[in-house]
């Protein structure tokens, strides 16, 4: 039997009135030391020191976990954290109005988007329900119709129509179709913890609903509602035909923090694309104004002039990674701003449209090389963003099947160094 050695007590100084045997009080501001475990892998190496190109999603996963962090696809390089949400006076969730009500925007809600305002006030409301009441004009701000993206100001009055809360779905009470949806989300998961979920969205699956769209990510997230009726929230969007990293917040706290990171451009996104021709110079910056042209059949972003109605400034950095003769080029893209169709419109603007783009590819007499699928060759390859509770989320998505086929046919090495990784932020 081992014997425990008793440590000698610290010497008592003048004015020390501690009882005999009591431990010395900690100095003000002293931090309690402890092991740092969360930022190292099984081999003992810091996760942040591992090369990005090895962060690929493994094919195997542990069956006893519904959503397991895919350690090869993402790294959250931070010490283990016990941080909690900011200690503000908790305001109980407002009961759902059964008749028309008018509420006043508080100081804490100043600057909040209309849809986020409703989600915060009435947890459990589905995205489709929010969009429907806004689209029909049932929700009004200071007596006027509002768009879901409009930002509210303190003191404004908001007319709230009767609302309907979706019933929480418990894992044991999911239908067969909902169980399949749950499994699909599990297969798409690149990274997950208590606050954040990163999905590898396949090409062809919409992020949100629209005219004629019956299946989309936001609708699929309904199966992840918790016992309080809250479901994960979309933090950003990518186009239906674009594959790759899609960030989702699992809590209201995470949604606020992650949305703020996008607003303040703390998030970094890297895209890969296959484009017609080889851009010159091979690295550059595209800066234009973009405005939306609406039609009955479709909408498209056009390059506009400063001051044009609805025009927004858009900036993209690009770099050629590898070429296939002078016919095609693999480019890495880094959007500084986040405008609709920004990368697609920008590459078409400089004369190197993305292969398979049904909206912006209009190069005359251009033939698609044999064996390549006529689908949008655009991947949201990587996202790097501060974690709401400290540290960094860094996730990479693999090439989708149709792009991997093209890379293999053209002999492009998809594990090459990405030259745009350290592109300027402005």
Write out pLDDT tens, residues 354-399.
Answer: 999 999 998 888 999 989 999 999 999 999 999 999 999 999 999 9
Instruction: Give the pLDDT of residue 66.
Output: 39
**Among 251-260, 274-283, 397-406, the least confident range:** 251-260
Name the residue with higher pLDDT: 101 or 321. 321
* Rounded CA separation 291/311 (Å): 4
List, in order, residues 6 or more apart from 423 with CB less than 8 Å away.
317, 319, 334
Instruction: Give the pLDDT of residue 425.
Output: 64
Q: Which top CATH class is 101-160?
A: alpha beta
Known catalytic membership, residue 239? yes
DSSP three-state, residue 127: helix
Instruction: Give the pLDDT of residue 257.
Output: 92
Name the residue with higher pLDDT: 298 or 262. 262
Q: Confirm if 382 and 198 have CB atoms less than 8 A apart.
A: no
- Read out DSSP for 118-133? HHHHSTT--HHHHHHH
User: For residues 371-380, b (16+ Cβ closer than 10 Å) or e, as one string?
Assistant: ebeebbbbbb
Q: What is the pTM of this model?
A: 0.65
Instruction: Give the pLDDT of residue 88.
Output: 37
Write out pLDDT tens, residues 174-228.
Answer: 788 888 999 999 999 999 999 999 999 999 999 987 767 778 999 899 888 877 7
Instruction: Give the pLDDT of residue 71.
Output: 36
* pLDDT at 272 > cutoff 90: yes
Instruction: Give the pLDDT of residue 296.
Output: 65
- Left if phi > 0, otherwise alpha if psi is -120 to 50, otherwise beta: which for 18? beta
Task: Report residue 261's pLDDT band, with 50, 70 and 90 as the boundaries.
Answer: very high
DSSP three-state, residue 345: helix
Instruction: Give the pLDDT of residue 124.
Output: 64
**Crossing angle between the packed helical segments 252-263 and 114-121, to the nearest 10 degrees:** 160
* Rounded CA separation 320/332 (Å): 6
The β-bridge relationship of strands 74-76 and 328-335 is unpaired
* Rounded CA separation 224/76 (Å): 23
Q: CA 303, 208, 149: angle at the middle one, nearest 5? A: 60
**Mean pLDDT estimate for the chain:** 79
Instruction: Give the pLDDT of residue 55.
Output: 41
Catalytic residue among 115, 195, 218, 239: 239
**Which residue from 263, 269, 312 is spatially nearest to 112, judged by alpha carbons?**
263
Instruction: Give the pLDDT of residue 315.
Output: 96
Instruction: Give the pLDDT of residue 83.
Output: 38
Instruction: Give the pLDDT of residue 94.
Output: 55
Task: Report residue 97's pLDDT band, with 50, 70 and 90 as the boundaries.
Answer: low
**Which residue from 375, 355, 358 is spatially nearest to 367, judged by alpha carbons?**
355
* Rounded CA separation 253/258 (Å): 9
* Rounded CA separation 272/343 (Å): 10
| Superfamily name with CATH number, domain 270-384+399-410 | Pseudouridine synthase (3.30.2350.10)
Q: What is the DSSP letter of 195?
A: S
Name the residue with higher pLDDT: 365 or 345. 345
- Read out DSSP for 202-217? PTT-BSS--TT---BH
List, in order, residues 6 or more apart from 98 with CB less than 8 Å away.
162
Rounded mean pLDDT, 133-142: 88
Task: Report residue 312's pLDDT band, with 50, 70 and 90 as the boundaries.
Answer: very high
* pLDDT at 123 > cutoff 80: no
Which of 1-15, 120-134, 355-369 tops mean pLDDT? 355-369
**Which residue from 67, 60, 388 is spatially nearest to 224, judged by alpha carbons?**
67
Domain locations in the chain?
101-160, 270-384+399-410
Write out pLDDT tens, residues 16-75.
Answer: 444 444 444 444 444 444 433 444 444 544 444 444 443 444 433 333 343 434 333 444
**Among 10-14, 100-104, 296-300, 332-336, the least confident range:** 10-14
Q: CA 103, 107, 109: angle at the middle one, nearest 5? A: 65
**How is residue 324 written in tokens?**
């296939």
Write out pLDDT tens, residues 413-425.
Answer: 988 778 887 777 6
Q: What is the DSSP letter of 113?
A: B
Rounded mean pLDDT, 304-328: 94
């Amino acid at each position: 039997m081992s014997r425990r050695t008793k440590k000698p007590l610290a010497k008592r100084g003048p004015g020390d009135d501690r009882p005999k045997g009591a431990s010395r009080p900690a100095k003000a501001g002293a931090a309690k030391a402890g092991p740092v475990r969360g930022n190292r892998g099984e081999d003992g190496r810091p996760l942040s020191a591992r090369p990005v190109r090895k962060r690929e999603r493994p094919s195997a996963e542990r069956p006893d976990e519904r959503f397991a962090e895919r350690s090869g696809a993402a790294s959250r390089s931070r010490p283990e954290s016990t941080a909690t949400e900011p200690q503000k006076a908790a305001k109980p969730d407002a009961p759902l109005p059964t008749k028309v009500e008018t509420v006043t925007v508080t100081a804490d809600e100043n600057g909040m988007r209309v849809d986020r305002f409703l989600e915060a006030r009435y947890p459990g409301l589905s995205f489709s329900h929010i969009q429907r009441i806004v689209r029909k004009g049932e929700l009004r701000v200071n007596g006027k119709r509002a768009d879901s993206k409009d930002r509210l100001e303190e003191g404004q009055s908001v007319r709230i129509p009767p609302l309907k809360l979706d019933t929480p779905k418990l894992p044991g009470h999911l239908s067969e179709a909902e169980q399949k949806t749950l499994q699909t989300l599990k297969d798409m998961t690149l990274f997950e913890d208590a606050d954040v979920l990163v999905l590898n969205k396949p090409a062809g699956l919409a992020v949100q609903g629209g005219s004629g769209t019956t299946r989309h990510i936001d609708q699929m997230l309904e199966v992840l509602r918790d016992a309080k009726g809250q479901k994960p929230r979309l933090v950003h969007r990518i186009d239906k035909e674009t594959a790759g990293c899609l960030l989702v917040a699992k809590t209201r706290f995470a949604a606020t923090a992650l949305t703020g990171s996008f607003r303040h451009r703390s998030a970094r996104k890297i895209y890969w694309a296959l484009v017609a021709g080889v851009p010159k110079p091979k690295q550059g910056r595209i800066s234009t104004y973009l405005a939306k042209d609406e039609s009955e059949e479709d909408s498209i972003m056009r390059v506009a002039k400063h001051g044009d109605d609805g025009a927004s400034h858009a900036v993209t950095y690009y770099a050629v990674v590898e070429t296939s003769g002078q016919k095609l080029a693999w480019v890495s893209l880094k959007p500084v701003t986040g405008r609709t169709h920004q990368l697609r419109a920008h590459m078409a603007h400089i004369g190197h449209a993305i292969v398979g783009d049904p909206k912006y590819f209009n190069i005359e007499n251009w033939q698609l090389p044999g064996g390549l699928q006529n689908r949008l060759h655009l991947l949201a390859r990587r996202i790097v963003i501060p974690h709401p509770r400290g540290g960094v989320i860094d996730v990479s998505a693999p090439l989708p099947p149709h792009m991997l086929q093209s890379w293999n046919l053209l002999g492009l090495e998809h594990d090459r160094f990405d030259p745009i990784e350290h592109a300027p932020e402005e």
